[in-house]
C-alpha cells in the first residue's frame, strides 16, 4: 500500500536529518485496505449544542454550536471527579479518607432539595471512595459538596481548583463556581470543553473513570440506578455522565470503545432523558461506522536508526514510548503521510528513553497523529580518541 511505501522512506525524508540508517517504520499491525466510502452527514441531535470527538486525536468528527456557552448541569461532576482524582494522585487526599457529610452539603444537596442526592447521613462520615461513587453513579449533589469541602475546605475554594485544572486541560470556554452543577451565575462550559474534559479523564485517571459505568449504587437502605441509559443499551458504552435542570435541559456526555477506537459524544440541551440517549448513541454509531483507528507503532520497536557521534556505538534505534494510533475516515489509510523530525546531529551519551525528535502523520496536509521519538537503547560515550576523531569529522561535514 502507498502508506507502507511512504513509511519505508520515512527516515530519508525527515526534516533536519543528516544521516538515517536502515529505517524500519512499518506499522505495528497493518490493517487490510478498506475501500473509501463517502461519509454522509451525521445524525443531527435535538439539542442546543453537541459534538462528537475522537478520543485518540481530539479531532472533532461532527458538531454544532459546540463552542457556544451552555450550563453544564451535573456533567459538572466530571470536573469534580477529575480534580479529586488529581488531588489523590498528588497525595493530598486518599480513597479511605473519612469524609463528613456537613449540614451545608446535606441542606444544599440532600434529599430535601429538588436535585439528585446520594443519601449519606448528615453529620456522619463515609469513605471518600464511597462518596465518589455516590456522586458518579447517583449524581449526588450532597456527595459533590461534601467531597469539595473535604478536598479544599469549602466548595468555593474547590471551585478555584476546578478552574485551575480546567485551564490545564485546555477548557478555554469554561468557568465553574460549584462542584455539583446546579444553575448559578458564571457557571458555564461548552460542549467542546466538556468533550476535552471527558478525554482527559479517561486518559489520566482510568480507575476513577470506571466508576461511571457502575449501573447502580447503594447508600444505606437506598439503591439508585445510574441515569445513563446507554449503559443498558450498548455494551461498548462505559460512561460518562448525565445532567439535567430546567435551565440546562437534558444533557449527556457519553463514551464508547470498540476495539482500539474510542469516541466521546456530548449532547447539551436535549428535550428528554430518552432523546439525549437516542441522539448520543446515533452519533457514536455514525462515528464508528465511518471512521476507523489504526495502530501504527508499538513501543520498543525501531522506526528508524540514526547516526550517533562520539559514542561507543555508531547508531541509535528510534521508536515511540507509547503505542501510536491514528483515526481516519474509512478507506483513507493509504493516504496518510508520515514525516520524522530529528536533530541534524546526535552526540553521545544518549539515555534509553531520551526524547530525540518527533514523528508526525498527516492526512490532506493536516496532522492527525504525533508522537515523540525516543532512543530505544542507551548509547554510552566513547573513549577520548574516538571522541576526538568524531569531532574532526563533525567539523569537516559542517563546512
Instruction: Give dist(CA 144, CA 152) in Å, integer.
Output: 12
The yes-or-no answer on residue 254 being catalytic is: no
**ω before 199 within 30° of 0 (cis)?**
no
Which among 116, 118, 139, 189 is annotated as catalytic?
A: 139
Task: Confirm whether 77 is a catalytic residue.
Answer: yes
- Pair 195, 55: CB distance under 8 Å: no
- Rounded CA gap, 27 and 25, in Å? 6
- Distance (Å, whole) CA 292 – CA 262: 10
Q: How far is 227 from 386, CA to CA, in rounded Å?
A: 68
C-alpha cell of residue 389: 576523531
Q: Active site includes 236?
A: no
**Extended beta strands in the chain, E state:** 20-21, 49-54, 60-64, 98-100, 125-127, 216-219, 222-225, 237-245, 249-258, 261-270, 291-297, 304-307, 315-319, 324-329, 337-341, 355-363, 366-375
Catalytic option among 77, 133, 241, 310: 77
Catalytic-role residue among 74, 116, 118, 270: 74
Nearest CA to 182 out of 248, 101, 100, 250 is that of 248
Catalytic residues: 74, 77, 139
Amino acid at each position: 500500500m502507498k502508506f507502507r511505501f511512504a513509511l519505508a522512506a520515512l527516515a530519508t525524508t525527515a526534516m533536519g536529518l543528516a544521516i538515517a540508517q536502515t529505517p524500519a517504520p512499518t506499522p505495528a499491525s497493518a490493517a487490510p485496505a478498506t475501500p473509501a466510502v463517502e461519509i454522509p452527514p451525521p445524525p443531527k441531535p435535538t439539542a442546543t449544542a453537541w459534538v462528537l470527538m475522537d478520543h485518540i486525536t481530539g479531532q472533532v468528527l461532527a458538531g454544532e454550536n459546540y463552542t457556544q456557552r451552555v450550563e453544564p448541569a451535573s456533567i459538572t461532576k466530571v470536573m469534580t471527579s477529575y480534580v479529586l482524582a488529581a488531588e489523590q494522585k498528588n497525595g493530598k487526599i486518599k480513597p479511605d479518607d473519612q469524609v463528613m457529610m456537613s449540614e451545608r452539603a446535606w441542606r444544599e444537596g440532600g434529599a430535601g432539595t429538588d436535585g439528585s442526592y446520594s443519601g449519606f447521613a448528615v453529620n456522619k462520615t463515609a469513605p471518600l471512595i464511597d462518596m465518589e461513587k455516590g456522586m458518579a453513579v447517583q449524581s449526588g449533589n450532597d456527595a459533590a459538596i461534601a467531597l469539595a469541602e473535604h478536598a479544599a475546605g469549602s466548595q468555593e475554594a474547590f471551585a478555584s481548583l476546578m478552574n485551575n485544572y480546567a485551564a490545564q486541560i485546555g477548557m478555554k470556554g469554561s468557568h465553574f463556581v460549584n462542584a455539583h452543577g446546579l444553575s448559578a451565575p458564571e457557571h458555564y462550559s461548552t460542549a467542546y470543553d466538556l468533550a476535552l474534559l471527558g478525554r482527559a479523564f479517561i486518559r489520566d485517571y482510568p480507575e476513577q473513570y470506571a466508576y461511571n459505568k457502575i449501573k447502580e449504587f447503594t447508600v444505606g437502605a437506598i439503591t439508585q440506578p445510574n441515569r445513563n441509559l446507554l449503559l443498558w443499551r450498548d455494551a461498548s458504552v462505559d460512561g460518562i455522565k448525565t445532567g439535567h435542570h430546567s435551565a440546562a435541559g437534558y444533557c449527556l456526555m457519553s463514551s464508547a470503545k470498540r476495539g482500539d477506537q474510542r469516541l466521546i459524544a456530548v449532547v447539551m440541551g436535549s428535550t428528554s432523558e430518552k432523546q439525549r440517549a437516542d441522539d448520543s448513541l446515533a452519533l457514536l454509531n455514525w462515528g464508528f461506522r465511518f471512521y476507523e483507528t489504526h495502530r501504527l507503532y508499538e513501543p520498543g520497536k525501531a522506526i528508524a536508526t540514526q547516526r550517533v557521534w562520539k559514542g561507543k556505538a555508531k547508531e541509535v534505534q528510534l521508536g515511540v514510548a507509547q503505542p501510536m494510533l491514528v483515526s481516519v475516515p474509512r478507506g483513507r489509510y493509504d493516504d496518510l503521510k508520515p514525516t520524522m523530525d530529528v536533530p541534524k546531529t546526535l552526540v553521545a551519551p544518549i539515555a534509553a528513553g531520551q526524547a530525540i525528535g518527533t514523528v508526525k502523520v498527516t492526512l490532506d496536509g493536516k496532522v492527525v497523529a504525533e508522537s515523540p521519538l525516543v532512543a530505544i537503547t542507551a548509547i554510552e560515550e566513547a573513549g577520548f580518541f574516538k571522541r576526538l576523531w568524531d569531532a574532526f569529522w563533525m567539523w569537516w561535514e559542517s563546512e
